[in-house]
Amino acid sequence: MTNPLLQTEGLPAFSDIRPEHVEPALKTVLAENRAIVDAVTSETAEASWETVVLPIELMDHRLARTWSPASHLNAVVNNAELRDVYNRCLPLLSDYQTEIGQNEALYHAYRRVAQRDNLDPVQRKVVEDALRDFRLSGVALDAADKERFREIMQRLSVLSARFEEHVLDATNAWSLHIRDAAELAGLPEANQARARAEAEQRDEDGWILTLDFPTFHAVMSQAENRQLREAFYRAWVTRASDQASASDSWDNAPVMDEIVLLRQEAARLVGLDSYAAYSLVPKMARDPAEVVAFLEKLAARSRPAAARDMAALEAFAGQTLEAWDVAFYAERLRRKTHAISDEELRPWFPVERVMAGLFQLVEKLFSIRVELLEDVQSWHDDVRYYRITDAAGSDRGGFYTDLYARAHKRGGAWMDDCIGRVDVCGRHVLPVAHLVCNFMPPVNGRPALLSHDEVLTLFHEFGHTLHHLLTRIGYPSVAGINGVAWDAVELPSQFMENFAWDRSVLKSMTGHFETDEPLPDDLLGRLLGSRNFMSGMQMVRQLEFALFDFRLHSMDPPPQGEDILALLADVRHEVAVVPYPSFNRFANSFSHIFGGGYAAGYYSYKWAEVLSADAFSAFEENPDGLFGGDAGNRFLKEILEVGGSVDALTAFVNFRGREPKIDALLRHSGIGSEEQATAA
């Protein structure tokens, strides 16, 4: 039987992939890749772009194409059999990656290629990135240290997956059975209907509320029952911790301790003072001091606004607020101040209408067309597949959407690489992406209805999707999001969010799910007027996460156990305005830094938001409006199409004509510009 993970043409055959296919496919490709490395590093091989770099680029693409579907399925349709084989494969993959990174013969072959004067700028970027990654993999270490580095990388791959699994299992395990309808007062009708359906599915009476994010958010912002809000808050912030009511085997504290120690040891092995310094080598920021100064400056500018926000909330509530009260009273104050609420807006944002408006927007901006394709294999009935073509009618790639929350699917929202672009050696492969969210699914015949925050999330992830799909670069390692400095990779995603606040865009993508009537002007005006509502609190919340992450990975030795909690408490004392209870164990479910790629990099969201706000201001400055002039075409050509083939700062300057400034971010956040602060 043919292994579907080994096919190299067309889209992945998702419905044919079984857990038993994963390990054999991975082992096959790893063996083939090792043979390629042996061939390009043989004593008789010439060290040129064509004989060294291109074969490595193509073999890396083949590995990514094989592993990506398996990794994706583990995230969106997780089950015991798939999880087991996925975890068995992680050490194989880690060992291989470290082996390649520490291969001295391959490293020296790349060095010889780098000395050639016939490389064009994109080729030189590919080679320089590779040489940097060799050094970060410990290529210069002695045999004993190389082996220790390999052991660390293997163990970290296992621990990161375990962290994610603990969060997923703890989330899936928790539910609350409600038998009295009065306890659900204020909870939107759609959430109540979903909870009743869950109870019926379990052959129970009443309502069963689960801990998926759409339910959690609805309870925290809408439920009048304070005890219900507290119960959900406690369940959410104690997931995978010693404070949770679920299994102790899911406590992530030991996992976190080991992760930060191993990261620090790996950094030390390659001659860097901390994992924070290690993480910055391929980023825009030059050193840890620059990142800390950036975050602390932004915090100093933002905290007074956040304190005013919190004071206004407590004055409105007429009481001192606990953490589980904040979202509830914020929603009510928003209704009073701006006469608007998420639930009032939802009927105007049916997901299909929003998607159509989003596609119309990018057609205006970038002269592309998005169309739904039928009969494409997928992993779930909710999944859709879309093709993108350009103004000339040429295919540019495609993407899957998986928009709704369900059991055994990782929480959050993300874009991931399904297939990368290739255009070398007569091989032409178009890029494909996964766009994943966790919105509340359709209920009782009603379509999925989005809050405006969820619209922002969709625009954000679609920005990543465009970055991956619209690249013109043919070398996989610098095509699309590959090779982009991590603290610049959020630029296109956060840039796209700005359009979800534009009046004309909002009018085009809204229509009442029953009447198709566009969003009324008065309601639209109230939504736009609420843009900076509680923006100070939102800003310091992100800075809290970023400072905790960066300081955690800067300390030598890294904190352990209670010291991690103490570090988080210190950061909160410095920047936060919301009171946190002693049982809060947020760090135990902070998957971005312990399970994902944001370790010592969470600051990237704010760093890139400076870039994105400044980039969007180029559109705002256009006298003919957002869609006048050539700003969209320049953003396409200087940011999206170049992928990682151009240094991130250079790409920004090529688009904007100057280096980035922080003023647009502060203005969009309602905090004020540098000049205004100085004058005050």
Whether residue 331 is found in the same domain as residue 357: no
Considering 343, 454, 461, 609, which one is annotated as catalytic?
A: 461
What is the distance between the alpha carbons of residues 492 and 639, in angstroms, rounded to a whole number?
8
Q: DSSP readout, 433-447?
A: EEEEEEEPPPBTTBP
Nearest CA among 458, 423, 426 for reference residue 350: 458
Q: Which two tokens stand for residue 608?
A: 């890139």
Q: Which two tokens stand for residue 172?
A: 């899936």
Q: Is residue 673 part of a domain?
A: no
Whether residue 445 is found in the same domain as residue 496: yes
Share of the chain above pLDDT 70, in %: 98
Whether residue 371 is found in the same domain as residue 457: yes
Q: Is 115 helix (H, G, I), strand (E, B) or coil?
A: coil
The 10s digit of each residue's pLDDT in 518-556 is: 999 999 999 999 999 999 999 999 999 999 999 999 999
> C-alpha angle with apex 67: 61 to 72, nearest 5 degrees?
120
Whether residue 358 is found in the same domain as residue 405: yes
Whether residue 374 is found in the same domain as residue 472: yes
CATH for 36: 1.20.1050.40
What is the distance between the alpha carbons of residues 485 and 475, in angstroms, rounded to a whole number?
17
CATH for 401: 1.10.1370.40
Q: How many CA atoms lie within 13 A of 528 on its CB side?
A: 17
Whether residue 378 is found in the same domain as residue 525: yes
Task: Say how far residue 406 (Cα) sits from the centre of its chain.
Answer: 19
Q: Which residues of the chain have pLDDT under 70?
A: 1, 672-680
β-partners of residue 388 are 370, 397
- H helices present in 413-502, as ranges: 452-469, 491-497
End residue of a domain, out of 601, 628, 645 = 601
Q: Is residue 163 part of a domain?
A: no
Contact call for residues 391 and 439 (beta carbons, < 8 A): no
Predicted model pTM: 0.95
Instruction: Write the single-letter amino acid at 475.
Output: Y
Contact call for residues 541 and 577 (beta carbons, < 8 A): no
Whether residue 8 is found in the same domain as residue 71: yes
Tokens 């007569």, residue located: 426
pLDDT, residue 46, reads: 83
My answer on whether omega of the bond before 557 falls inside 30° of 0, hence cis, is yes
pLDDT, residue 247, reads: 72
Nearest CA among 334, 315, 297 for reference residue 539: 297
End residue of a domain, out of 557, 576, 601 = 601
What contacts 467, CB < 8 A, 6 or more positions away? 480, 481, 484, 489, 492, 493, 639, 640, 643
What's the domain range around 502? 346-529
**Residue 544 among the catalytic residues:** no
Nearest CA among 50, 586, 560, 481 for reference residue 260: 560
Q: Is residue 199 part of a domain?
A: yes
End residue of a domain, out of 601, 630, 647 = 601
- H helices present in 487-636, as ranges: 491-497, 503-508, 521-529, 535-552, 562-575, 591-594, 604-620, 631-635
CB-CB neighbours of 380 under 10 Å: 14
What is the distance between the alpha carbons of residues 262 and 102, in angstroms, rounded to a whole number?
18
In a 10 Å sphere around its CB, with 0-12 CB exposed, 13-18 middle and 19+ buried, how is residue 90 labelled?
A: buried
Q: Is residue 266 part of a domain?
A: no
Whether residue 370 is found in the same domain as residue 501: yes
What is the distance between the alpha carbons of residues 607 and 490, in angstroms, rounded to a whole number?
9
Give the chain's domain count. Answer: 4
